[in-house]
């Protein structure tokens, strides 16, 4: 691969499954992905499997903390944290501590959640969509306020703080990546997020909406990147997957459509060897070195 093509590859992260796997597998795979040149590793924020409730599921942020402790360059992020799963003050303290411990490698993905069965099984409230949107908007405000260290007082519809202090104050603050797969989700990300993550299907339908909403908010598109989630094609065998056969070509195709970063989602153990081999053929490690540190 030529040097110019190597340098042109956008950052590519991986969303490893957290269902039916062990923390040992997750952390070791994160180490392998770092060595292969991937920019980030992302973990679902689920407490129960979408299939059988008895399937083991790793908790998102403790898993990310373990991975951060065993890597050096790889960014670690939630894909994405359900705003109902943790009070934003707690999330702010957790992520600030991990940001300090990891040397500034944390990404805070956050969304309004969508699996009522999961949270209701655990006694977590699951209000209507409109309220969850309001909660996310307030949660993002609180994250940014608490990351200053305080004191913070806040009087919102759903959250209230009184002279709250929060240390360590992260420097830089983690990037807030808002997940959304609808026009409303794209507009929400444009209003309050540092970036937007979405699926291929929603990306095609909502990119223009996202960019229009950024303009209305007085924000530059270059300062609000899009992290496109792409997955392996389930109906194809691993040796026939376009993404695994020519990762560089697939990444370039998505970049031409407007994606600033790529997240390869729902990667299970069987796909990891092929993914690492694809990264080696694409020269991903060389691309990472040429590009420098992943964006913060």
Q: How far apart are CA 185 and CA 203, in angstroms?
A: 11
The answer for 294, left when phi > 0, alpha when psi is -120 to 50, beta otherwise, is beta
Q: How far apart are CA 145 and CA 142, in angstroms?
A: 5
Specify the CATH superfamily of domain 3-291: Luciferase-like domain (3.20.20.30)
Confidence of residue 235 (pLDDT cuts 50, 70, 90): low
Instruction: Please report the pLDDT score of residue 237 as a whole number.
Output: 80
What does the pLDDT look like over 87-123, one tens digit per residue?
999 999 999 999 999 999 999 999 999 888 888 899 9
Sign of torsion, CA 170 171 173 174?
negative
Q: How far apart are CA 252 and CA 168, in angstroms?
A: 39
Confidence of residue 66 (pLDDT cuts 50, 70, 90): very high
What does the pLDDT look like over 2-42, one tens digit per residue?
444 444 689 999 999 999 999 999 999 999 999 999 999 99
Q: How far apart are CA 38 and CA 29, in angstroms?
A: 11
Is 260's pLDDT higher than 60?
yes
Sequence length of the chain is: 296
Query: Do residues 244 and 232 make contact, with C-beta atoms less than 8 angstroms apart?
Result: yes
Number of other CB atoms surrounding residue 8 within 10 Å: 15
Confidence of residue 52 (pLDDT cuts 50, 70, 90): confident
- By DSSP bridging, strand 81-82 and strand 12-16 are unpaired
Query: How many Cα atoms sit within 13 Å of 81 on the Cβ side?
Result: 31
Instruction: Please report the pLDDT score of residue 287 as a whole number.
Output: 80
Instruction: Please report the pLDDT score of residue 54 as a whole number.
Output: 84
- Taking each helix axis from N to C end, the angle separating 23-36 and 284-291, rounded to the nearest 10 degrees, works out to 70
Which of these ranges, 78-87, 183-192, 286-295, has the smallest mean pLDDT? 286-295
Q: How far apart are CA 172 and CA 186, in angstroms?
A: 25
> Which H or E run includes 227?
strand 226-231
Instruction: Please report the pLDDT score of residue 96 as a whole number.
Output: 98
Confidence of residue 59 (pLDDT cuts 50, 70, 90): very high
Number of other CB atoms surrounding residue 83 within 10 Å: 24
Instruction: Please report the pLDDT score of residue 256 as a whole number.
Output: 95
Nearest partner of 77 among 92, 88, 63, judged by Cα: 63
Query: Do residues 76 and 39 make contact, with C-beta atoms less than 8 angstroms apart?
Result: no
What does the pLDDT look like over 237-258, one tens digit per residue?
877 888 889 999 999 999 999 9
Domain parsing of the chain, residue ranges: 3-291
| pLDDT more than 70, % of the chain | 95
Instruction: Please report the pLDDT score of residue 49 as a whole number.
Output: 87
**Mean pLDDT across 48-70:** 92
Enumerate the β-bridge partners of residue 80: none
């Amino acid at each position: 691969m030529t040097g110019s093509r190597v340098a042109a590859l956008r950052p590519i992260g991986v969303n490893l499954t957290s269902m039916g796997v062990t923390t040992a597998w997750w952390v070791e795979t994160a180490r392998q992905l770092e060595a292969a040149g991937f920019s980030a590793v992302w973990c679902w924020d689920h407490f129960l499997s979408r299939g059988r409730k008895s399937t083991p599921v790793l908790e998102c942020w403790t898993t990310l903390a373990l991975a951060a402790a065993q890597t050096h360059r790889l960014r670690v992020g939630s894909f994405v944290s359900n705003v109902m799963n943790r009070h934003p003050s707690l999330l702010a303290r957790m992520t600030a501590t991990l940001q300090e411990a990891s040397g500034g490698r944390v990404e805070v993905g956050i969304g309004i959640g969508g699996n009522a069965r999961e949270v209701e099984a655990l006694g977590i409230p699951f209000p209507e969509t409109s309220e969850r949107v309001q909660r996310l908007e307030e949660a993002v405000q609180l994250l940014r306020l608490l990351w200053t260290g305080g004191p913070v007082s806040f009087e919102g519809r759903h959250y209230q703080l009184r002279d709250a202090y929060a240390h360590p104050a992260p420097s830089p603050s983690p990037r807030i990546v808002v997940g959304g797969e609808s026009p409303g989700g794209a507009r929400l990300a444009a209003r309050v997020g540092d970036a937007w993550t979405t699926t291929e299907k929603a990306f095609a339908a909502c990119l223009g909406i996202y960019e229009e909403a950024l303009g209305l908010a007085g924000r530059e598109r270059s300062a609000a990147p899009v992290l496109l989630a792409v997955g392996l094609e389930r109906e194809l065998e691993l040796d026939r997957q376009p993404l695994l056969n020519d990762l560089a070509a697939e990444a370039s195709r998505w970049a031409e459509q407007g994606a600033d970063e790529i997240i390869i989602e729902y990667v299970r153990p069987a796909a990891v060897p092929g993914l690492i081999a694809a990264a080696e053929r694409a020269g991903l490690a060389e691309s990472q070195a040429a590009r420098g540190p992943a964006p913060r």
